[in-house]
Amino acid sequence: MKNKVVTILGAGAMGSALATPLAARGQEVRLWGTWLDDHLLDAIEAGSPHPRTSVPVPDGVRLYRSDALTEALDGSDVVILAVASVGVDAVVRLAAPHMGHVRLLGVTSKGFLEDSSGKVRLLPESITGIFESLGLPAPIVVAAGGPCKANEVALGRPTATVYGSDDIEAARSLARDIETDDYRIETIDDIIGLEVAAPLKNVYAIALGFADGLERATGEPWHNLKSAIFAQALREMALVATTLGGRAETVFGLAGVGDLEVTGLSGRNKVYGARIGSGETAADALNAMILAEQTVEGVPAATLAVTLAASLLPEAGTTLPLLFAIGSIIEGGSDPLEQLTHAVLPATVDATKRVIV
């Protein structure tokens, strides 16, 4: 099979990490950095490991600066979008006029986008809409979910991940281009379920991190609370997914349970939540992470998810209490522990109706 030219848009942790399996498959890999990635490319060019993964980028990967986007896309067979969700609109608008020859667009970005009318949409729909608004043919979108820590992918450690698309053959095609013995891919046609789980697990990982922060502050574990948060998070992700037309089984598989597990164990969203749980204000915790160049994607995702939920469900605050509690905490709401406890613990039983055997 002829090797392909694969251009990765975004030289951050995940973009650079995917160069490892692609290079292992013999593909020609081009890594394009945005205007925020210059210092990352500087480090790679100097022979240092990637600053975000601490892993060297494979030999032979060609690097492109932000002003060389046309060159990076010229002759590409496949493009993979790997920028933070806040950069998706800008990068897609820049790249779209140079992608007429590209049939397939892989997307590792995780989040929601709000259109000009204020409607919150999943990323694949938003990306397709950007191409259409520019009068350009949209490529088939294949979304890449988790569980998938960038540094482990870069190191070639065993990883199971999920690729989804309305066109299952497109998902399988991209999987064939990148899959290795260590980087294995489950392909599904439930792109809605996948794209609900991908950003929402970042939101719910904030609450899981909060429980870890309580342990840090008190010196005692809060495992019972953390398990209740985990269970409620999955219930709520499944409800949003099925309401939008996705499948609950996607949430209860690798894309939901698996991704929430790995994100709740480590990662920037978990760390942000732990900072709040240990006593920092939400604003101070976020500012500290921004100064450390750590993007907390769960923060904008939570705000947009609350808006989306309110448009989908008439009593969203009641049916998705954990999501709305996290949204309130991010906005600086009082007593985060009380809010989370109320959101995830079962309602008390009316004492007059208890039956004692």
Q: Per residue in 279-328, pLDDT tens?
A: 999 999 999 999 988 889 999 999 999 999 999 999 999 999 999 999 99
How far apart are the C-alpha atoms of 240 and 27, rounded to whole Å?
Answer: 37
pLDDT reading at 105 higher than 80? yes
Residue 351 lies in a domain: no
pLDDT of residue 350: 66
One domain for residues 12 and 102 = yes
Verify that 334 and 229 share a domain, yes or no. Answer: yes
Q: 77 with 185, same domain?
A: yes
Q: What is the domain range of residue 201?
A: 192-344
pLDDT grade for 1, boundaries at 50, 70 and 90: low
Nearest CA to 165 out of 250, 258, 242 is that of: 250
Strands 78-81 and 120-122, how do they pair?
unpaired
Q: Is 270 a catalytic residue?
A: no
Residue at which a domain ends, from 157, 172, 189: 189
pLDDT exceeds 90 at position 357: no
Same-domain pairing of 198 and 314: yes
Q: Write down the pLDDT at residue 246.
A: 97
Same domain (yes/no): 196, 159: no
Q: Could you tell me if 119 and 218 lie in one domain?
A: no
Q: Residue 116: pLDDT above 90?
A: no
Residue 107 has pLDDT above 50, yes or no: yes
Question: Is there a contact between 165 and 107 (Cβ–Cβ < 8 Å)?
Answer: no
Is residue 232 located within the same domain as residue 164? no
Percentage of the chain modeled with pLDDT above 70: 97
The CATH number of whichever domain residue 147 belongs to comes to 3.40.50.720
Of 189, 216, 242, which residue constitutes the final position of a domain?
189
Same domain? For 176 and 214 the reply is no
Specify whether 22 is located in the same domain as 151: yes
Tell me: do 151 and 121 sit in the same domain.
Answer: yes
pLDDT in tens, 161-180: 999 999 999 999 999 999 99
- Which is catalytic among the residues 110, 149, 201, 270? 201
356 pLDDT above the threshold of 50: no
- Per-residue pLDDT tens over the stretch 220-268: 999 999 999 999 999 999 999 999 999 999 999 999 999 999 999 988 9
pLDDT > 80? residue 355: no
Overall domain count for the chain = 2
Last residue of a domain, one of 189, 207, 240: 189
Q: Nearest-CA neighbor of 149 among 158, 140, 136?
A: 158
Mean pLDDT of 95-110: 95
pTM summary value:
0.92
In a domain, 312, yes or no: yes
Instruction: Looking at the structure, tell me whether residues 171 and 302 fall in a common domain.
Output: no
| Mean pLDDT score across all residues of the chain | 94
Assess whether pLDDT exceeds 60 at residue 353: no
Mean predicted confidence (pLDDT) in 149-154: 95
pLDDT in tens, 31-88: 999 999 999 999 999 999 999 999 999 999 999 999 999 999 999 999 999 999 999 9
**What pLDDT score was predicted for residue 294?**
86
CATH number of domain containing 273: 1.10.1040.10
Confidence of residue 351 (pLDDT cuts 50, 70, 90): very low
Measured over the CA atoms of residue 18, residue 295, residue 50 and residue 44, the dihedral's sign is positive
